[in-house]
Amino acid sequence: MDRRQFFKKTVKYGAVTTAAIVTSNFNSLLASPSKNPDLVAVKGGTAVQMFKKGIAAFGGMKEFVKKGQTVVVKPNIGWDVEPEGAANTNPGLVAEIIKHCLAAGAKKVYVFDHTCDNWKLCYKNSGIRSAVKKAGGIIVPGSNSSDYRKVRVPGGKKIKTQRVHRLIIDSDVFINVPVLKSHGSSRLTIGMKNLMGIVWERWPWHTKGLDECIAEFAAYRKPELTIVDAYRVLMKNGPRGTSNPSDVKELKYQVLSQDIVSADAAAAKIFGVSPSSIEHIKLAHGKKLGNMNLNEIKIKRISI
């Protein structure tokens, strides 16, 4: 290579690199959070289709997951019920989220839940274990007390400290993937209620006042993204259902938001109730942990 060639090449590649940097900066400016919607609601496709459209409206998973980061995805796998029972998060959706995280450069994507029924059976029969493995995620048991570490809950009155799964504490990105369903105790279970599955000693919440505890604990760690699966919805007899098909309705919705309270409010509306009628949503809103007034936030609605 002579000097001339050297200069030529340098200029050529330099120009390309500069252009690339400029363009990428430009792109990231375009997709900066301020320009993003506060909440994306999708309607009418399969859970996977709706997620693809929904995450694209935020500028893709790379907005939330950076290269080399560890991600923990927390679906609801509470019950030994098959996917049609709608007691657990849609396994296809969980798998798709994992794929997007890995494509965005995530180093590792973990999935776990502190289940209600026997964890092995829940993982297996919900279809989530096999979906996670196929998608390249790591499925981790949530049943071992030694995996939970004590943390402080900011502003907690009823629950000041709580033992939380180490993956939530240690992972860079936390994606909360609840399923919308009716609930015998908290009337509805959505995003904030799903956080009970990252806690070890959660039963006392029921006697301390479940709704207050759910709202207080929402202050512990804000998920980077909450994706509410409302494709199949358990309209009654939740959270477990009676294995009776008439309990379940295919509403075919999905809600994505960085604000867990907004996500819960929108999901409550989809279920057909006012967000303020759900005690823990109202309390969390009152604590300024998020906004349940959907007319005050920027919503992007997508129909498929």
Q: Which residues contact 214 (CB under 8 A, 6 or more apart)?
A: 186, 192, 193, 195, 196, 205, 280, 283, 284
Residues 91-130 that bind another protein (CB under 8 A): 92, 108, 116-118, 120-121, 125
Binding mask 225-244 for another protein (x = CB under 8 A): ------x---x-x-xx-xxx
Regarding 161 and contact with another protein (CB under 8 A), the answer is: no
DSSP one-letter string for 196-212: GGGBSS-THHHHHHHHH
Binder among 211, 224, 229, 259 for another protein (CB under 8 A):
211
Residues 255-294 that bind another protein (CB under 8 A): 265-266, 269-273, 294
Residues 32-61 that bind another protein (CB under 8 A): 41, 43-47
CB of 225 to another protein, least distance (A): 19
Binder among 2, 4, 67, 246 for another protein (CB under 8 A):
246
Regarding 139 and contact with another protein (CB under 8 A), the answer is: yes
Read off the tokens for 127: 């279809």
Quick one: which of 222, 218, 173, 220 has its CA closest to 192?
Answer: 218
CB of 119 to another protein, least distance (A): 8
Binder among 62, 100, 181, 252 for another protein (CB under 8 A):
252
Q: What CA–CA distance (Å, rounded) separates 38 from 299?
A: 6
Regarding 209 and contact with another protein (CB under 8 A), the answer is: yes
Regarding 22 and contact with another protein (CB under 8 A), the answer is: no
Alpha helix stretches (DSSP H) within the chain: 3-30, 47-57, 91-103, 119-125, 128-135, 166-170, 191-194, 204-217, 260-271, 279-286
Are 100 and 61 in contact, with CB atoms under 8 Å apart? yes
Task: State the residue for tokens 């109730």.
Answer: 273
Q: Which residues contact 180 (CB under 8 A, 6 or more apart)?
A: 188, 189, 190, 228, 229, 230, 233, 253, 267, 270, 271
Q: Total binding residues for another protein by CB under 8 A?
A: 66
CB of 168 to another protein, least distance (A): 15
Q: What CA–CA distance (Å, rounded) separates 103 from 56?
A: 13
Regarding 158 and contact with another protein (CB under 8 A), the answer is: no
Q: What CA–CA distance (Å, rounded) separates 259 from 290?
A: 6
CB of 279 to another protein, least distance (A): 8
Beta carbons within 10 angstroms of residue 105's beta carbon = 13
Q: What CA–CA distance (Å, rounded) separates 42 from 51?
A: 8
Regarding 5 and contact with another protein (CB under 8 A), the answer is: no
Regarding 250 and contact with another protein (CB under 8 A), the answer is: yes
Residue 28 or 243: the one with the smaller Cβ distance to another protein is: 243
Provide the binding-site residues for another protein, judged by CB under 8 A: 41, 43-47, 80, 82, 84, 90, 92, 108, 116-118, 120-121, 125, 138-141, 143-144, 146-147, 183-187, 203-204, 206-211, 231, 235, 237, 239-240, 242-247, 249-252, 265-266, 269-273, 294, 299, 301, 303-304
